[in-house]
Amino acid sequence: MDVLGIVQIIVELAAVLLLVRPVGGYLVGVFFKERSRLDALFGPIERGLYWAIGVDPSEEMGVGRYVLSLLLVNGLMIVIVMLILITQGYLPLNPTAAANMPIDLAFNTAASFMTNTNWQSYAGETQVSYLSQMICITFLMFTSAATGMAVGVAFIRGFASRDQRPGFREITGIGNFYFDFVRALTRVLVPFAIIVSILLLVQGVPQTLGGPLSYHTVEGSISTLYRGPVASLESIKHLGTNGGGFFAQNSAYPFENPTPLTNVIEIVAMLIIPISLLYAFGVMTGNTKEGRILIGTLTTIFIVLLSIGLLAESSNPALSNLAVNQSSGNLEGKEVRFGTENSVMFIVSTTSTGTGSVNSMIDSYTAIGGAVPLFLLMIGSLFAGDGSGLLTVLMYVILAVFIAGLMVGRSPQYLGRKIESKEVKLTFLAFLVHPILILGFTAAGIIFATSSLLNPGSHGFTEMLYAFSSAAANNGSAFAGLSANTPFLNYTLGITMLLGRYITFPLMLLVSDSFLRKKTTPYDAGTFRTDKWIFGLILIGVIVILGALTFFPVLVLGPLGEALL
């Protein structure tokens, strides 16, 4: 194992954890405080936007209208993006001469980017025009992340402290979708994306409307250099936990991720918002320790899985009989400028969040090296997507509190509110959505779409299992040997992404709304405290045991079988 690689990983993790507090505090200010110094800058822009859209941002919506507004906005965006994609051949800004997309591919793409999944059945450099890269892909990267953040913010309101704190807005309900959605864009995603885009530009990521260049290589063969407005897509791709590449080879392609520094920038950008929102959650409960325990617990799982991945990728045992020096690790499918350590770090980060961009080809990872990201997807991606990740984390927290309550024989309580039958039922329903989608559709895929598999045996099975795990978790990374651009897979994966997101959202918002209406009771000696590290241990147990019990059989058929045979 390369010491330098490990040092890089430690520096990256430290950078993220140092940024969490200031960014988390900033997010609290954006969504929950009465006024801020930045109102002078953003206030007029936001008032203009509310006027243009025609909404009153101070109106309390309630869960019903909040979810309805969200579904209408997202639904319309899917329809309009589909229309653009199936007609892009007729539209301007198309120097690559990309053809109109077939309807199954357009459906898959629109669903994929609206749900923050960014699964790609197309190759960006040849199948999408520059106009579509901008007004379909980049546009949905912003709005899907803003939708996720809006839901996350609304969700926090149910769990927020009831004490009226000076400077904070009064919480009267779940909030207003347009207020949350617009502020996520104006004060977080757009300004952050401008900063990250410029950092990437400086490192050499292209940003041009110039078309592809045909040229002769040094040794005289003819080649084409594809380029385009890459930096503006690449920044929001990571900040928004999106993950879809401008190029088919995603962040492995040098134009998306040209240097070791851009790799660091992309890793930090994808981790920062989901983790900072957990910190903001803690602040809003009135006890920052509630957030810090969650961040610490999930980071522990992250580090353990990262270590397993690093060990697994330190060599490919199947090549050990050849005269190959594997001291730099299993480099098949990996780039020299990142090396094995920063490839594994990127893959674990991308599957610990809802991102799904890749800087190396997971299909060529060793069996256990590939099982790490797969397991992360199955447990819902730890920190998960911007905003939507809070729902996943709190789902596990509620289950952990419930199970701990059963063990000590007291009625379970979280943040001073009793967890009752209604919340437990809704949470379990939300939990069950992903296993049903993953296991059901993988079975269907194995029956109807075996011709899409590239690799034989267990590894081929894992390609299919990974695809539906990625779609259900709204992640978007892939075992890319799978030929996903078939009508069957385009429709089934598209449906999996939609159900994986839009069933979970209302269920967990109902849980939050129910918490909002509960009386709070003060802690007593018998209360099981969630702001103690012992709770972190129970949470790890619940996440690992539920994940393992649900998915152990398919993991045996896939990566574990491959590792053992």
Partner 1 sequence: MLKNDLFTAFKTTVVFLVLCGLVFPLILVGIAQIADKPAAEGSILTQNGTVVGSSLVGQSFADPMHFQSRPSGVSNWGPNNPTLITNVSQQVAYQKQLNPSISLVPIDLVTQSGSGVDPNIASGSALLQVPRISNLTGISQDVLTRLVNQYTENPVAGVFGAPRVNVLQLNLALDNLLSPSALKSAEANATAFNAAALNATVMNTTAG
What is the Cα–Cα distance from 387 to 164, expressed in whole angstroms? 24
Q: According to CB under 8 A, which residues from 438 to 467 bind partner 1?
A: 454-457, 459-460
Q: Where are the beta strands (DSSP E) in 170-276?
A: 213-216, 222-225
Q: Is 229 in the site for partner 1 (CB under 8 A)?
A: yes
Q: Please, which of residues 297-356 interact with partner 1 by CB under 8 A?
A: 316, 318-319, 322-339, 343
Asked if residue 189 lies in contact with residue 239, where contact means CB atoms within 8 angstroms, the answer is yes
Choice between 131 and 424, CB closer to partner 1 = 131
Q: What is the distance between the alpha carbons of residues 152 and 274, in angstroms, rounded to a whole number?
A: 10
Of residues 348, 351, 554, 353, the one with CA closest to residue 437: 554
Q: Which of residues 115-144 bind partner 1 (CB under 8 A)?
A: 134-136, 138-139, 142-143
Compute the least distance from the CB of residue 332 to partner 1, in Å.
4
d(CA 452, CA 462): 12
Question: How many residues at the interface with partner 1, by CB under 8 A?
Answer: 111
505-564: contacts with partner 1 (CB under 8 A) = 562
- Least separation in angstroms between residue 207's CB and partner 1 is 4
Check binding of 395 to partner 1 (CB under 8 A).
no
Among residue numbers 365 through 384, which ones bind partner 1 (CB under 8 A)?
365-367, 369
Determine which residue in the list 98, 154, 160, 193 makes contact with partner 1, applying CB under 8 A: 193
Q: Which of 28, 153, 449, 480 binds partner 1 (CB under 8 A)?
A: 480
Please tell me whether residue 46 binds partner 1 under the rule CB under 8 A.
no
CA distance 521 to 134: 51
- In the 8-state DSSP scheme, what is residue 198? H
Q: What does residue 418 show for φ and ψ, rounded to 5 degrees?
A: -70, 135
Which helix (DSSP H) or strand (DSSP E) does residue 43 occupy? helix 39-53
166 forms part of the interface with partner 1 (CB under 8 A):
no
Nearer Cβ to partner 1 (84/399): 84
Q: Rounded distance, CA 391 to CA 394, Å?
A: 5
Residue 479 sits in the site that holds partner 1 (CB under 8 A): yes
What is the closest distance, in whole angstroms, from the C-beta atom of residue 300 to partner 1 in the complex? Answer: 24
224: phi then psi, degrees, rounded to nearest 5: -125, 135
**CA nearest neighbour of 484 among 426, 441, 518:** 441
Closest to partner 1 by CB, 201 or 540: 201
Q: For the segment 248-307, give every residue that binds partner 1 (CB under 8 A).
A: 249, 252-255, 258-261, 263-264
Three-class secondary structure of residue 495 per DSSP: helix
Q: Nearer to partner 1 by C-beta: 95 or 440?
A: 95
For partner 1, the binding residue among 115, 121, 127, 197 (CB under 8 A) is 197
CB proximity list for 82: less than 8 A, separation 6 or greater: 103, 106, 107, 109, 110
